[in-house]
Amino acid sequence: MASQQIQQKKENHEQKQPKQRTYVMWTAGVAFTFFIAFLGLLLAKIPGFSHVGQLACAIIVAVAYRQFFGYPEALRSGITFSTKKLLRLAIILYGLRLNMAIVFQDGLGLLVRDAFVIAFAILATIWLAKLLKADKMISLLAGVGTGVCGAAAIAAIAPIVKAKDEDTAIGVGLIALMGTIFAIIYTILRPILPLLPTEYGIWSGISLHELAHVAIAAAPAGEDALAIGLLAKLGRVFLLVPLCFIFIYIMKRKNKDSGQSENKVDFPWFLLGFIILSVLGSYVFGHSIPISDNVMSGVYTSTTWLLTAAMVGLGLNVSLQDLRTRAMKPLIAMTITSVCLSILAYFII
Mean pLDDT of 150-167: 89
Q: Does the structure show a pLDDT above 70 at 164? A: yes
Most confident among 93-102, 195-204, 269-278, 295-304 (mean pLDDT): 195-204
Spacing of C-alpha 75 from chain mean position: 23
Question: Which pLDDT band, with edges at 50, 70 and 90, does 338 fall under?
Answer: very high
Most confident among 12-16, 90-94, 158-162 (mean pLDDT): 158-162
Q: Does the structure show a pLDDT above 80 at 40? A: yes
**Per-residue model confidence (pLDDT) at position 32:** 96
Task: Confirm whether 161 is domain-assigned.
Answer: yes
Task: Confirm whether 63 is domain-assigned.
Answer: no
Residue numbers of the domain that contains 289: 85-348
Mean pLDDT of 30-35: 95
Q: Which of 59, 94, 22, 104 is nearest to 317 (CA)?
A: 59
Mean pLDDT of 111-132: 95
Q: Which of 229, 228, 210 is nearest to 149 (CA)?
A: 210
Task: Confirm whether 13 is domain-assigned.
Answer: no
Task: Confirm whether 77 is domain-assigned.
Answer: no
Mean pLDDT of 271-286: 83
Render pLDDT for 175-202 as a digit per residue (tens, 0 to 9).
888 888 898 899 889 989 999 999 999 9
Task: Confirm whether 16 is domain-assigned.
Answer: no
**Per-residue model confidence (pLDDT) at position 121:** 96
Domain count of the chain? 1
**Distances in whole angstroms, Cα of residue 166 to Cα of each of 130, 267, 316, 329:** 20, 22, 8, 16
Task: Confirm whether 123 is domain-assigned.
Answer: yes
Task: Confirm whether 332 is domain-assigned.
Answer: yes
Q: Does the structure show a pLDDT above 90 at 48? A: no
Range with lowest mean pLDDT among 87-96, 118-127, 180-189, 253-262: 253-262
Helix ranges restricted to H, 219-268? 223-238, 240-257
Most confident among 48-62, 242-256, 331-345 (mean pLDDT): 331-345
Answer left, alpha or beta for residue 70, where phi above 0 means left and psi between -120 and 50 means alpha.
left
Q: Does the structure show a pLDDT above 90 at 247? A: yes
Q: Does the structure show a pLDDT above 90 at 118? A: yes
Q: From CA 122, how far away is CA 156, in angstroms rounded?
A: 15
Task: Confirm whether 57 is domain-assigned.
Answer: no
